């Protein structure tokens, strides 16, 4: 499975909506939002007032969202506004319908008027290593020419990267040291009116990195359990998705398959059909990474690892004959005595018990149990057997009487 590829085609539609009208009290800040226009890439936007191009100044701000902010509005700010959008990729340009601004005259407080945050900085999540991020803050006050904007990080005033009359703070190539809380502080120089503040938190995200991943080739035996590791770190912590042969695994639908706490994949009771290529994707908002392994499910012929040994026992005691088998699929076990089947997975005989380990328990052993015992193990790949002789002696008094006679 390959990483997704995005293809973008440059285009630009038309501005939404028709003519609009809004009002503001004289001295307050007017925030004009441009009508939406679908476009790729995002167009360059220019504002016009009564046909004249508007340039940012100490009293005029154009935000990163292309809003026009007119501070300490006066009667001259009333009138018709338009937006021109230019798609620099394909050269298209469009002009919006008019936006009429009314500036209402009202008895306003005498100067000075305390600062007020009009556009607050926003919380941001930025990928580690990104070349630059910008925080923005716009404030209003009167007299506007005495307004000062400062940026703080904790108790330290930030001096570098401040531009656009203090409204923007640009940070360089981002690392984890840039993460944290930033304060925009608006003050009126030479005045005792209170300042205004707004805060934003900058989160530095980091693309997932594997610290444990599966080997290129993994082998598991039929009916065994296999665990494919997939452990990754990132900010925020990544989420894990598994694929088999290019198809996403719906883990909740297969009771044999589960995720480990670290994102790995555990498969119980392996089947031949589990053979294939397994991919682990670790993904968070900063990006994704993937690793894979080829899982081969093998079969092994049945064999006896530890078989029975010749034994001599006393009658009326409990006897256990071992038979530990290995193989994939798991071998079946059966016991015979002198060629006659005693026990198997589907057959039981009184006093003869087939143990979980494959061994045989005789409870109790009688003199009639003396003979040759054979353990037979088998699976689809083959079979094996082991034989031992069991001799059961009677009780001492019985043996003595038999010897006298």
CATH number (domain holding residue 322): 2.60.40.10
Phi, psi values for residue 248, rounded to 5° = -65, 135
Task: Out of 277, 298, 319, pick the residue that ends a domain.
Answer: 298
Buried b (16+ CB within 10 A) or exposed e, 318-352: ebebbbebbbbbbbbbbbbbeeeebbeeeeeeeeb
Task: Out of 83, 108, 133, pick the residue that ends a domain.
Answer: 108
With 0.75 as the threshold, say if the pTM is over it.
no
Is the pLDDT at 405 greater than 50? The verdict is no
Is the pLDDT at 116 greater than 60? The verdict is yes
Q: Could you tell me if residue 1 is inside a domain?
A: no
Give the 3-state secondary structure of residue 107. coil
Residues 287 and 307 in one domain: no
pLDDT band at 343 (very low <50, low <70, confident <90, very high): very high
Q: Could you tell me if residue 132 is inside a domain?
A: yes
CA dist 184 and 71 (Å) reads 17
Is the pLDDT at 258 greater than 80? The verdict is yes
Residues 194 and 283 in one domain: no
Q: Could you tell me if residue 45 is inside a domain?
A: yes
Across the chain, what does the average pLDDT equal?
Answer: 92
pLDDT at 398: 46
Number of domains forming the structure of the chain? 4
Q: Could you tell me if residue 5 is inside a domain?
A: no
Nearest to 351 by CA among 342, 340, 341: 342
Residues 317 and 345 in one domain: yes
Q: How confident is the model over 357-393, as pLDDT tens digits?
A: 999 999 999 999 999 999 999 998 899 999 999 999 9
Q: How confident is the model over 266-294, as pLDDT tens digits?
A: 999 998 889 999 999 999 999 999 999 99
Give, in order, the Cα–Cα distances in Å from 69 to each of 138, 144, 164, 273, 284.
8, 13, 13, 65, 36
Residues 275 and 247 in one domain: yes
Q: What percent of the chain has pLDDT over 90?
A: 82
Phi, psi values for residue 56, rounded to 5° = -60, 150
Give, in order, the Cα–Cα distances in Å from 255 to each of 262, 267, 273, 295, 307.
19, 9, 15, 19, 35
pLDDT band at 139 (very low <50, low <70, confident <90, very high): very high
Query: Average of pLDDT values for 109-117?
Result: 87
Q: How confident is the model over 26-82, as pLDDT tens digits?
A: 999 999 999 999 999 999 999 999 999 999 999 999 999 999 999 999 999 999 999
Across-strand partners of 197?
Answer: 185
CA dist 81 and 100 (Å) reads 6
CA dist 254 and 265 (Å) reads 12
CA dist 83 and 68 (Å) reads 10
CA dist 40 and 38 (Å) reads 7
For 303, the token pair is 């064999």
Tell me the residue range of the domain where 239 lies.
Answer: 213-298
């Amino acid at each position: 499975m390959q990483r997704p590829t995005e293809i973008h085609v440059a285009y630009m539609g038309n501005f939404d909506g028709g003519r609009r009208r809004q009002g503001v009290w004289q001295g307050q800040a007017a925030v004009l939002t441009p009508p939406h226009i679908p476009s790729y890439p995002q167009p360059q936007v220019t504002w016009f007032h009564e046909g004249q191009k508007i340039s940012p100044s100490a009293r005029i701000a154009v935000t990163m969202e292309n809003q026009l902010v007119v501070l300490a509005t006066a009667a001259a700010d009333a009138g018709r506004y338009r937006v021109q959008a230019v798609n620099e990729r394909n050269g298209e340009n469009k002009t919006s319908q008019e936006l009429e601004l009314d500036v209402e005259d009202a008895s306003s407080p005498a100067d000075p008027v305390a600062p007020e945050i009009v556009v607050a900085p926003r919380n941001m999540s930025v990928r580690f290593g990104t070349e630059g991020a910008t925080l923005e803050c716009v404030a209003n006050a009167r007299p506007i020419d005495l307004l000062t904007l400062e940026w703080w990080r904790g108790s330290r005033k930030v001096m570098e990267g401040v531009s656009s009359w203090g409204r923007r703070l640009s940070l360089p190539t981002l690392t984890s040291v840039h993460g944290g809380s930033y304060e925009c502080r608006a003050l009126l120089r030479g005045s005792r009116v209170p300042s205004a503040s707004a805060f934003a938190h900058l989160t530095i995200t980091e693309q997932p990195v594997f610290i444990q991943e599966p080997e290129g080739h993994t082998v598991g035996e039929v009916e065994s359990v296999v665990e494919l590791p997939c452990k990754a770190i990132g900010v925020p912590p990544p989420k894990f998705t598994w694929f088999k042969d290019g198809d996403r695994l719906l883990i909740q639908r297969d009771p044999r398959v589960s995720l480990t706490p670290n994102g790995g994949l555990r498969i119980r009771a392996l089947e031949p059909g589990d053979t294939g290529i397994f991919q682990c994707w670790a993904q968070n908002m900063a990006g994704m990474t993937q690793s894979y392994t080829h899982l081969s499910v093998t079969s092994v012929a049945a064999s006896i690892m530890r078989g029975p040994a010749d034994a001599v026992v006393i009658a009326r005691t409990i006897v256990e004959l071992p038979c530990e088998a290995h193989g994939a699929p798991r071998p079946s076990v059966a016991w015979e005595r002198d060629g006659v089947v005693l026990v198997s997975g589907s057959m039981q005989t009184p006093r003869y018990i087939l143990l979980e380990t494959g061994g045989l328990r005789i409870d109790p052993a009688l003199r009639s149990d003396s003979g040759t015992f054979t353990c037979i193990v088998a699976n689809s790949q083959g079979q094996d057997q082991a034989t031992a002789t069991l001799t059961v002696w009677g009780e001492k008094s019985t043996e003595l009487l038999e010897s006298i006679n």
